[in-house]
Structure 1
Amino acid sequence: MKNFTFKINENSYGVKIVSHEDNIVELEVNGTSYSVKMKEEVKTVKTPTLVRKPTSGAIEPLKINPSSSTTKIIAPIPGVILSINVKVGDMIKVGDTLLVLEAMKMENSITSEKSGKVSAINVKVGQQVLQSELMIELE
């Protein structure tokens, strides 16, 4: 099974473990066979199992308040603004691309979920944004 070399009081010993069952170990020390009964049974170590906590679900999309006169477009994830496709005063429709946000080396097109007029742009190209940071406001 395994070979070991021990040095005790300047003497070198070659130990070979031949077999191991329960608490009995058969071994050879410098070619002489020995049967050793261990005081306690050796406990086998189990490989740990990774247990993941179930996820709470997918990230919910931005909820639009229909009674509010303004709609706020917030960053769904942290990233860098690559391009802004609208200007203040532009009229937009549902599905129009407002800006492109790069996150984790992926380009994410942020689209409008509501028609309206762009009233404010709170970011600029190259700016880093955090999750839930206000980017664009619509009327």
Structure 2
Amino acid sequence: MKKFNIKVNGNAYEVEIEEVKAAPAVKVAAKPAAAPAKPAAKPAAAPAPAVVGAGDTAINAPMPGKIVKLVAEAGKAVKKGDVVLILEAMKMQNEISAPVDGTLKSINVAAGQSVKPGEVLAVIG
């Protein structure tokens, strides 16, 4: 019987593994090890829901993920292809760019916020 300490998503576990010669089975008994509790960091509060008016262009989330960084600011002019924000999905950082030229009317997400696919991230007018 061998014992291992394993950390998964910040939680420590003590695992016992028994080697079995006859069958290729592994017995795992996982129990949380005593670890000091630390408070989770809260993401910034989300801005008000998006309002996309006639003639405005919405920038939607292409996939679920977490907003890592806001590159552009509301009220500033953007050109097609300019990076507006960085979305982390599946451990990769994706640059979300402006699909059209215009003025960034609003940014509807905050750094640290999780988003769903199709959610309006920003509005260009």
| Residues 1:82 and 2:55 are matched in the alignment | no
Report % sequence identity.
39
> Relative contact order (C-alpha < 8 Å, sep 6+): which is higher?
2
Q: Which amino acid aligns with 1:81?
A: I
Is the 2:59–2:99 contact (alpha carbons within 8 Å) kept by the matching residues of 1?
A: no
Q: How does 1:110-129 map to 2 (within 5 A)?
A: 110-129=96-115
Q: Which amino acid aligns with 1:116?
A: G
RMSD: 0.8
Aligned to 1:96: 82
After TM superposition, where is structure 1 displaced by more than 2 Å over at least 4 residues in a row?
none
Is the 2:65–2:115 contact (alpha carbons within 8 Å) kept by the matching residues of 1?
A: yes
- Superposed displacement of residue 70, structure 1: 0.2
| Distance of 2:77 and 2:65 partners within structure 1 | 26
In the superposition, the TM-score normalised over structure 2's length comes to: 0.56
Q: How many pairs align?
A: 72
| Distance of 1:113 and 1:73 partners within structure 2 | 7
In the superposition, the TM-score normalised over structure 1's length comes to: 0.51
Aligned to 1:130: 116
- Superposed displacement of residue 88, structure 1: 1.1
- Superposed displacement of residue 101, structure 1: 0.2
| Distance of 1:96 and 1:115 partners within structure 2 | 9
